Structure formats: C-alpha cells, structure tokens
Structure 1
Amino acid sequence: MRNGAFVNDGCSSSTSINSQHDVEDDQMIAVVLSEEYAKLDGAVGRRLSSLAPVAHIPRINLHFPSSSDSNLDYQRLFQRLNVYRLYEVRVAGDGNCQFRALSDQIYRSPEYHKHVRKEVAKQLKDNHALYEGYVPMKFKHYYKKMAKWGLLLGEWGDHVTLQAAADKFAAKICLLTSFRDTCFIEIVPQHQVPVRELWLSFWSEVHYNSLYELRDAPVQNKPRKKHWLLF
C-alpha cells in the first residue's frame, strides 16, 4: 500500500505464497528440533551451582559502555569462562544476537532466530500487561520494534525480551555476565514452572552468545535445507 492505495506489482502474490511456505517450514523444523533438545542435562548448571544468582529486573537498553569499558568487560567474562571451563558458541553480532543465542540453546542452531524473535514479539503483544510497566515508551511501538530483524538492522534484544522468552518457552534463562559485581543472573518464567534451562554468556549490553560445558561443546552443523532444496 502506498499513500493509502493498494499497488499490485505483478509478483506480490507469488512472493507472499513463498514467504508463507518459508515461515511454515521453519516453524515445522523448529518444533521438531525443540522436541529433540527440550531436555537438557543441566551440566552447566551443576558447574555453576556454587554461584548465587542475582534477581532479574526486566529493563530496556538505555546505557552502552564505552569501547575501553567493553574491552575490560570482555576480559572479565573471558576469565570467568575459563574458570568454569565453559565454551561459547559465538553467534553473529548483527543486531539479532540475543535471539540467535536463544535459538542455539533451544534448537542447537542459531539459524532459527527469526522464529524465536517472532514468538517473543507475539508474547509481548499478547501479554502486554506483564511487560509494559518496564518499558518507558508507548508499548505498541516497543513490541513492533522488537519484531524487526535483518542483517545489521535487527532490533537489539534486552532484559524485557529475555523475560518474555523465559515466559514463552517455559525456560529458566541463566546469564554468565561480564558485570563486575554481578556474575550470574537468572530469569525464570513468571507464571509456570520451567521445563528447560537456557545458558547464555552476556558481554554487558554488547553481545550474547550460547553457552555450554567445555566437554559438551557442540559440533557446528549447517542448518537443514528446506525440503524443496534437497534435489
């Protein structure tokens, strides 16, 4: 639609059908992978059992560290990863990193980040009363922003989207952070018992990666091809 008028560009119908097939196929694959990997062994949790988690307060990103502070923060995070013998699956820093890291934990591939983002945005939209008190802007504008993804254009996830992800996927999300005074943050579902644990490293306000015990570090596989590309 341009200036209130619908425009037929001659290919929109076929594009729409193909896009719908893409979404449906991605969702089908994501459901299968989710069922395969839903039960985690909790190895990372056992290794960090001596840490006392900090209570999580959902908030949006308002402050980002300087480059020098970021470097110091990453050195701190790197040291913690070594101390606890943990391995990061590094995901692209393209504005979608939180959703890529969550995708890797849920589906063992960061490539389903669009599906994860879509589900989180829907959780925000459908349950706005749970989250709007943490967002100092018009909430409709906020959840629409969070639905946006793209190469270097994806809206950065924040602590509100982490809470929404915990609620949507019935997951306890555990962050090993680079913060000086906060090593370990735990986000739990608000109204249900978690059925899985998702472990992320959090380079303070800069980047998320997926986290595993060193001996359980996964082999990085290419995402599965869509069924019509198998020939």
Structure 2
Amino acid sequence: MATAAGEEPPDPAADGALIDVTDAGDDEGVGAPAHAAGSPSGADDGKAKGGGEGEGAAAVSDAWRERLFVGQKLDVLDETDSWCEAEVVELQGDLALIHFLYWSSKWDVKLHRRSPRLAPYRSRVYWEGGPLRLGQWLDVFDTHPKQRTWVQARIVDEREDAVKVHFKGWKPKWDEWLPRDDPRIKPWCSHTAVLKPYRPKARTYWRHHARARYVQNTDSRMHAYRRGLQRLGFALKPVDGDGNCLFRSVSHQVYGSDAHHAVVRAAAVRYMQAERDWFRPFVASDDAEFDEYLERMARNGEWGDDPEIQAMCEIYNRPAAIFAYDAAVGARCLRTFHEAGVAGARAPMRLSYYGGGHYDAIVSDADAAAYLTTRPGEHEERVLASLLARPPVARGVSEGKADDAAGMTDLQAALQASREQLDDFDQSLEAALQASLGTAPADMVADAMDGGGGAGGGGGG
C-alpha cells in the first residue's frame, strides 16, 4: 500500500485473527463467514458488494443445482456479500450442508439447493488468471518496507486496466490502484489462510450410533491410565454415567461434590443463552435450532459437550484440562479450555474423558483450595447478573480499529482470547480423542459395545 514520505501505516496487529467477524463499520466483515450470529447481514452501507445473481458473471443454467453431490466445490455468498470457496459436505433432500474451505466447521451452514447464495465453482470468486470484479476479495502483497507480507484486500473500484483495492484492517487512505495483471494479486486466502477440513460434530455422529465409552474399567488401558494419572499426582473420581456426568464432574471440581450438577447445568444453559451470538454457531444453524438445543440441554440427563465446557470455564473462571488415555505414558492432557482466562483464575478443573460422551472428575490433594465456599447457585447468579449488565462479548475486536481494542475491558479481552483459542480447535473433543487413539469412530463404537459399557453402564455422560 502506498505511503507518503515519512508516513507509516497503522499497526497491523490491530487486524485480529483471520477468522474474526468484524462489525459493519469502517471495514466489511470478511473473517469468519457472516452466517455467524451478530454479524452484518449484507446491509448496504455504500461499500462494494460481491454482486447479485447474474451480475458480473455469465448466465449459467440451473441444471447443476439438481445434480449437487457431496464433495462438490461451489462459490457461496456469505451474509456480508462476500463470495467464498466452499464445498458440499452433506445432502439431505433439497438441503445442502456447506463447508467454507478456509474456515472451521463451526461456520458450516445449511442452504437450499436453489439458494441464490450458491453458484458454480469459480464463477464468482477470483482465481488465478480469472476475471477481476468489483467486490471480490483477494490476497495482495504489501510492498511497504515495514510490512512486505500478504494482506487480504477487497476490490472497491475498477477501470478497464486496473482495480482499486482496500486492505482489510487499514483505513481507506491506504487504498491502492493495481494493474489487472499485477503479480501481487492472488486468490483470496491462498497466501493468508490455510485450508480447514470439514469436521463433523461429534454430537451429530452419536445421534446415529450407540453411545458407549470405549476405555472400560476392566480394560488394561484403564489400569495404565490410572497409573499414568497417579504419576502426575492425580486420581480418578468416577461419577454416575446418567447423562449428567460432565456436569457432575464439574460440580465435583467446583464444590467438592457432584451433587450440585443441576445447578451447574442450569447456569451453563443460561450463560449460553445470554451469550447466544457467540455460542450458537457451534451447535445450531439458526436461532430456532439453538433455542431447541438449549431446551434439550436444560433437561436432566442430556449430555454436554465442548461448548458447555467453555461456558462453565467462563462461569467459574477456571481452565478445564481434559485428560485421556495415552498408550505411551498412560495418561496425558488431551486439551485445555480457557487457558487464556481472566486474571485471578483459580486452578484448572481436571476432567477425564473416555469417548462416547462420558466424563469423570480427576482429583488431587490440593483441590480443596479451589472449591467455592458460597451456597451452590450463589456464585452462578452473581456471574449471570454481571453478564447481563454488560454488552455481549463480540467475536473479536473490530478489525483495524486500535481504539476499539484499547476500549475493551480486561474481562472482555480475556474472554475474547479464550474464545479465539476454542475457535482454533479444528476438531471437537471427541474427534481429537479419536485421532489420538488412531481408531475410526465406527471401530470404537463396536469395541465399546463389545465391552459392555463400563462404569455407569452403556452410553455416555
């Protein structure tokens, strides 16, 4: 981007992560696909748009829509009018589940096969050697001596021989005219992002398969796992496998007893409801589906998953270290949620995961120092009241606006960092365990069923 003599561009650190959703102010939202709740929905604020159906592209027969297939690549319009490379990953009648190639499966969206947001592959996005059009997103090499890096940019004006690009996260004064054949222009995300594979939600998988833990109490792996925990100074505290096991385990970590699992569950559900704009994309495609999800999650015996763990970490301001069996050392920490917690966070909650949705608590001699001493429910009510009194924590800082970042409270900044960490996980906890054990999901289900379900009976949670 061109600069005047002696003038320096703003700090690019204000850009934020590539997958952050921005607001509808100075810059268009181009990070995560805009079907994220709370992002702009294509509102026309005078900025360049991605083009309507038929605009800037030759008319194409709709026959291809009737022949959609899993694995088919498409151009898909997100709700900020940005055409993105995407893929059909599931088909159910006329509904197609769409995965954006450069974003995690959190942002997958269901669209009708006749949705105007679908277009043939490379008919709308820029590709090497293809036409440049108003509204397209690009990767552009920044030649400023202090930058010299690839930056995402959008075409905001054009003429016969050149296009004007606006650099994501930078003020309009840095906009630059580039020849249409300039080698600094490359397809969007080709140099600024990495492909994100489609990761089916574990919850979806287990709806269609028998749920059972596949590391059993009588299994030799369980004996090795207990010994591994013991070497780390921990011990296993089994809880009932009645569908409440995640909430029982967290209750034990928070109160020293699993008896308050209903209080913990209710708080998690209310918290997710209050922060629905951020939690919804993890589990639902729209608000109605999210409401149904929360209604189910509020019921006794409904098993929890990654989003509920994140919510409980935020409620109690404690990281959650998830341990699992490891063939080499017996036990290892598979994943930690909320590592970037708010200042003053207490010791981590330690949970044991066996797959199939079942959790136990992991205890140590030092746990009592972290227990809440207030009446069960009192802390939760105080956190929820405080939450409702402040603005919702947005997904990321508005890109290119350092003053917005500076204006965030320490609490908001810490929660944002924690949530960005969860966003970075390409796999659900279930998928991470499957990958760790090197076993296909179907094989693990078969092994679990053959084993009889283990402690707490068949089934998870």
**TM-score interval for Structure 1 and Structure 2 normalised by the shorter chain:** 0.5 to 0.7
TM-score norm. by structure 1 comes to: 0.57
SS at structure 2 position matched to 1:92: coil
CA–CA distance in structure 2, aligned partners of residues 105 and 127 of structure 1: 24
With 112-121 and 67-76 compared, the bigger mean Cα shift is at 67-76
Q: Given the superposition, is the C-alpha separation of residues 60 and 143 from structure 1 closer, same or farther in structure 2, using an over 3 Å criterion? A: farther
Match runs of 1:11-160 below 5 Å: 61-63=203-205, 69-71=214-216, 74=222, 77-137=225-285, 138-149=289-300, 154-160=301-307
Alignment partner, residue 183 of structure 1: 332
**Matched-pair contact (CA < 8 Å) for 1:167–1:190:** no
SS at structure 2 position matched to 1:171: coil
Give the aligned residue type for 1:127: E
Residue 168 (str. 1) matches residue 315 (str. 2):
yes
Q: Given the superposition, is the C-alpha separation of residues 189 and 118 from structure 1 closer, same or farther in structure 2, using an over 3 Å criterion? A: farther
Ranges in structure 2 where 5+ consecutive residues have no aligned partner? 1-198, 369-461
Q: Given the superposition, is the C-alpha separation of residues 204 and 74 from structure 1 closer, same or farther in structure 2, using an over 3 Å criterion? A: farther
Q: Which has the higher contact order (CA 8 A, sep 6+)?
A: 1
Ranges in structure 1 where 5+ consecutive residues have no aligned partner? 1-56, 219-231
Bigger fraction of residues in helix: 1
Q: Given the superposition, is the C-alpha separation of residues 141 and 81 from structure 1 closer, same or farther in structure 2, using an over 3 Å criterion? A: same
Alignment partner, residue 342 of structure 2: 192
In angstroms, what is the RMSD of aligned CA positions? 3.1
Name the % identity. 21
Alignment partner, residue 31 of structure 1: none
Give the aligned residue type for 2:245: C
Deviations 1:143-180 (A, max 9, x none): 1111111xxxx100111100111111211111112366
CA–CA distance in structure 1, aligned partners of residues 322 and 251 of structure 2: 15
Cα deviation, residue 79, structure 1:
4.4
TM-score norm. by structure 2 comes to: 0.30
Q: Given the superposition, is the C-alpha separation of residues 134 and 108 from structure 1 closer, same or farther in structure 2, using an over 3 Å criterion? A: same
Q: Given the superposition, is the C-alpha separation of residues 85 and 96 from structure 1 closer, same or farther in structure 2, using an over 3 Å criterion? A: same
**Matched-pair contact (CA < 8 Å) for 1:199–1:211:** yes
Aligned length, in residue pairs: 156
CA–CA distance in structure 1, aligned partners of residues 323 and 361 of structure 2: 10
SS at structure 1 position matched to 2:203: coil
**Matched-pair contact (CA < 8 Å) for 2:211–2:357:** no
CA–CA distance in structure 2, aligned partners of residues 94 and 146 of structure 1: 14
Deviations 1:106-144 (A, max 9, x none): 111100000000000001111011211111451111111
CA–CA distance in structure 1, aligned partners of residues 260 and 213 of structure 2: 33
**Matched-pair contact (CA < 8 Å) for 2:211–2:356:** no
CA–CA distance in structure 2, aligned partners of residues 191 and 132 of structure 1: 21
Deviations 1:46-82 (A, max 9, x none): xxxxxxxxxxx9x653345886944466456334324
Bigger fraction of residues in strand: 2
Cα deviation, residue 189, structure 1:
6.9
Alignment partner, residue 201 of structure 1: 352
> Which structure has the bigger radius of gyration?
2
Cα deviation, residue 99, structure 1:
0.4
Q: Given the superposition, is the C-alpha separation of residues 79 and 146 from structure 1 closer, same or farther in structure 2, using an over 3 Å criterion? A: same
Give the aligned residue type for 1:201: S
